[in-house]
Structure 1
């Protein structure tokens, strides 16, 4: 059982710890093969699990300290209140909480940068063409407004608090995302 995960997670004590964790979490099939396909997690699944724990911890701390749900789209709107006179961005709830939200937003970007510098040799690479990233960002922004929130607000906070609206939104996000990915792949579109 440990051998199967050692190939996925890499050699050394971390692999054995990952194997024990995977065994405890039921992430191995009875044949000893990993339940999570290694090709989906070329660097091991542990990073994703730890990242999820950090996201959950951060969301819990913000909610317990302020009573505010930590959705990223709201953080963006709050930040825009510094540079826009539009009433949408200058509502009282945004103005009262914008300072700490900006610090949090800088922390998200800074945390990603630190991780990239420490664990990815500072690499900021993608095979996706810049115009596609831009177009995707526009579509995500429009979808965020239509869905009255983003995947972090609905997916992490809303589902975590058993919100029916968030459960429906996340199911919709996922079904459309999987369908779109399948359609795009069938059309032969690549990054």
Structure 2
């Protein structure tokens, strides 16, 4: 294994991880629940669909506002990385739907189980993270050796 020192960015990665941890801790303190992005996004949408009002959803909406404004805040201090998507919109839609199904089946996303679940010593999160990692490793192996 070799490290590409030109793109190795441990300080920005550490800072980003600390920000994720801080946001998660603040959300837990303010809401009493672990920050699960799927639930945070779904709950206000369901409130709009059911016409129950958004006042109870203010903590979630504030959290989402922070997620949406973070890139602009970051751009004040450093250039944003260039995004490159090498597939068409059809494959992106299929991939997004598969991620959504996986999140519902696994009762949370990879980062939710990895950051929040493992820090709570959740056995369910440990099993999920091991499945994610094994699935990812298997996918890479198939792409590199079979395709």
TM-score interval for Structure 1 and Structure 2 normalised by the shorter chain? 0.7 to 0.9
- Contact 2:35–2:112 under 8 Å retained in 1: yes
2:82 & 2:75 partners in 1: Cα distance? 7
Q: Larger relative CO (CA 8 A, sep 6+): 1 or 2? A: 2
Task: Decide whether the 8 Å contact of 1:73 with 1:149 is kept in 2.
Answer: yes
Pair 1:65 & 2:30 matched: yes
Q: State TM-score, norm by structure 1.
A: 0.65
**Residue matched to 1:13:** none
Does residue 1:120 correspond to 2:79, yes or no? yes
Runs of 4 or more, structure 1, over 6 Å off, are none
Q: How many residues align?
A: 145
Q: CA RMSD in A?
A: 2.7
TM-aligned CA distance change 1:149 to 1:182, over 3 Å: same
| Gaps in structure 1 of 5+ consecutive residues | 1-35
Pairs within 5 Å for 1:98-137: 98-116=57-75, 118-120=77-79, 125-129=83-87, 130-137=89-96
In structure 2, the gaps of 5 or more residues are: none
Partner of 1:38: 3
| Residue matched to 1:162 | 121
Aligned residues of 2:40 and 2:60 also touching (Cα < 8 A): yes
**1-side partners of 2:111 and 2:56: how far apart?**
18
Most deviating of 62-71 and 138-147: 62-71
| Correspondence 1:1-191 to 2 at 5 A | 37-39=2-4, 42-85=7-50, 97-116=56-75, 118-120=77-79, 125-129=83-87, 130-188=89-147
TM-score calculated relative to the size of structure 2: 0.82
